[in-house]
Amino acid sequence: MPFKLFDVDKEIPERKEFIYVKDSVDPEEHIPKCNTKTIPGCMTERGCAFAGVKGVITGAVKDVVHVVHSPVGCTTYGCGSKRYPTSPDLPNGDKMPIENFNLKYIMGTDLKESDVVFGGMKKLRQSVLEAAKEFPFVSAIYTYATCTTGLIGDDMDAVAKELSEELGKDVIAFNAPGFSGPTQSKGHHVGNITLFNKLVGTKEPPETTQYDVNLIGEYNIDGDLWVLQDYFKEIGINILSTFTGDCSHDEICWMHRAKLSLVRCQRSANYIAELIEEKYGVPYIKVDFFGPRYCAENLLAVAEHFGLEEKAEALIERKMKEIQPKLDFYKEKLRGKKVWVFSGGPKNWHLPEPLKEHLGMETVAVSTMFEHEDGYEKIKERVGEGTVIFDDPNSLELEEIIEDYKPDIILSGIKEKYIAHKLGVPCMLIHSYENGPYMGFEGFLNLAQDIYASIYSPVWNMLEFEEEIEEEEQVVE
């Protein structure tokens, strides 16, 4: 049977459709059911649509104020939730007066019951004006719907249009209340469409070259972007715009002037690449820089597009010489260790092969919170026989996976980390990272180092949970 029902899900048998165990004789179409609403009764680990737009797409833009139209809870959730560091430099030569401004500040409308009854548009307008006054140096103001404002029906677009004219700078409304889609992927979609419709094509870059690219779906988690920037600069390729790591508001406006778009996160940002190609004729290719082999192959593919293969080959050869001795050490230490990759989307099919090829690790489980069918098809191709692949895992399933598959480490998000630790299993952040960057050649070395340090930490030999439980059981008897 290719599909499996966990013991903890016996009261919700529908979960069986979402849990698949790879068997090479199964038809290709056998993948987990996905991109649907969470089944009632599951304690999901998912984020909402608002998290998809603010937490992923726009949260990395460095020179805008974010105003969340919500009660204070959603506003707090949207602040500093990911490590998206930014440089102070702006394309026009100016500098942001506050370093990592996007991580340090967020504003909200602090809706109360009376606002729900009588409408919150007046409060939204007041909050945006206060944000503009408090931070006059920002290039734009982004404002977000949440479940509360989606339910009461505030016309945020009307407020944004009026205030754009009044303030003389862009005020953009993102209408992705939490309930508007089954996963945060809906928020990714809304963010892509909104930024394309409102911004792309509205401004021109200070200068262009014949080697300009858009790096799309790269959010500069813990400095990933800066690693890739150095690679491309050495090869001779200019990143004209990023979407949206260390990105300024204006960069989004001139994405239409690139010669090629590179789509790195292929779940959150392929939408805008397709729209730019359709309207402006800018082709795009999908790229992956996790792991040395993938990084080398994709750097070469981009370089070949511009006729710069020799420079790419020289960079790859030098980088591999630098990291290979250390990688050999970590592979010796990690060979045969079992890993569970539990990420939002594409990292689930980016990571299993590099972990096996370069570190000798075995992926025993893969799970995601918002992947679509095409992603699960890639996951199925890249994992070994018997690997459990499942969508939208709940907290009780997490415990059962640990008990049945006995992973030596879990690569996941913050919500799962401390549950795993309480069960005595190392768990590393793969969304916001531990000690990144994790992208590129040296980034994968950082990942290997962190995995090694987590698994071999002496703290796991100090746990006494099992002994305590056994003593309690004896007392009861």
Answer yes or no: do 175 and 232 share one domain: no
Cα 342-442-239 angle, rounded to 5 deg: 90
**Residue 400 included in any domain:** no
Looking at residue 321, its pLDDT comes to 97
Please state, rounded to an integer, the average pLDDT across all residues of the chain.
93
Answer yes or no: do 80 and 150 share one domain: yes
**Residue 432 included in any domain:** no
- Measured CA to CA, the distance from residue 243 to residue 347 in angstroms comes to 18
**Residue 201 included in any domain:** no
Answer yes or no: do 299 and 174 share one domain: no
Looking at residue 78, its pLDDT comes to 75
Answer yes or no: do 248 and 286 share one domain: yes
Question: By the 8 A CB rule, do 246 and 253 touch?
Answer: no
Looking at residue 243, its pLDDT comes to 98
- Measured CA to CA, the distance from residue 9 to residue 13 in angstroms comes to 6
Q: What is the mean pLDDT of residues 20-33?
A: 91
**pLDDT of 252-286, one tens digit each?**
999 999 999 999 999 999 999 999 999 999 999 99
Question: How much of the chain exceeds pLDDT 90, in percent?
Answer: 87
Sign of CA dihedral 82, 44, 270, 68: negative
Looking at residue 477, its pLDDT comes to 53
Looking at residue 76, its pLDDT comes to 87
Looking at residue 83, its pLDDT comes to 84
DSSP three-state, residue 433: coil
Domain that holds residue 274: 212-311
- Measured CA to CA, the distance from residue 63 to residue 249 in angstroms comes to 6
Burial class (CB in 10 A: 0-12, 13-18, 19+), 156: buried
- Measured CA to CA, the distance from residue 186 to residue 429 in angstroms comes to 23
Name the domain count of the chain: 2
**pLDDT of 194-229, one tens digit each?**
999 999 999 999 999 999 999 999 999 999 999 999
- Domain end call among 311, 345, 361: 311
**Residue 477 included in any domain:** no
- The answer to whether residue 462 scores a pLDDT higher than 80 is yes
CATH number, domain of 85, equals: 3.40.50.1980
- The answer to whether residue 475 scores a pLDDT higher than 80 is no
Answer yes or no: do 115 and 69 share one domain: yes
- Measured CA to CA, the distance from residue 99 to residue 89 in angstroms comes to 10
- Domain end call among 182, 204, 231: 182
Answer yes or no: do 59 and 114 share one domain: yes
| Phi/psi of residue 457, nearest 5 degrees | -60, 135
**Residue 420 included in any domain:** no
**Residue 110 included in any domain:** yes
Answer yes or no: do 223 and 157 share one domain: no
Q: Which residues, 6 or more positions from 322, have their beta carbon under 8 angstroms from its beta carbon? A: 441, 442
| Phi/psi of residue 98, nearest 5 degrees | -125, 120
- Domain end call among 311, 342, 365: 311
Q: What is the mean pLDDT of residues 459-463?
A: 86
Question: By the 8 A CB rule, do 370 and 346 touch?
Answer: no
Strand 64-68 vs strand 140-144: parallel, antiparallel, or unpaired?
parallel
**Residue 99 included in any domain:** yes
**pLDDT of 401-442, one tens digit each?**
999 999 999 999 888 998 999 999 999 999 889 999 999 999
- Measured CA to CA, the distance from residue 423 to residue 396 in angstroms comes to 12
Question: Could you identify the residue written with the tokens 């960057």?
Answer: 437
Q: DSSP string of 102-131?
A: HHH--EE----HHHHHH-SHHHHHHHHHHH
Answer yes or no: do 158 and 260 share one domain: no
DSSP three-state, residue 19: strand
**pLDDT of 440-456, one tens digit each?**
999 999 999 999 999 99
**Residue 67 included in any domain:** yes
**pLDDT of 371-385, one tens digit each?**
999 999 999 999 999
Looking at residue 467, its pLDDT comes to 52
- Measured CA to CA, the distance from residue 177 to residue 174 in angstroms comes to 9
**pLDDT of 68-124, one tens digit each?**
999 999 998 777 657 899 999 999 999 999 999 999 999 999 999 999 999 999 999
Cα 378-53-107 angle, rounded to 5 deg: 155
- Measured CA to CA, the distance from residue 298 to residue 226 in angstroms comes to 17
Confidence of residue 45 (pLDDT cuts 50, 70, 90): confident
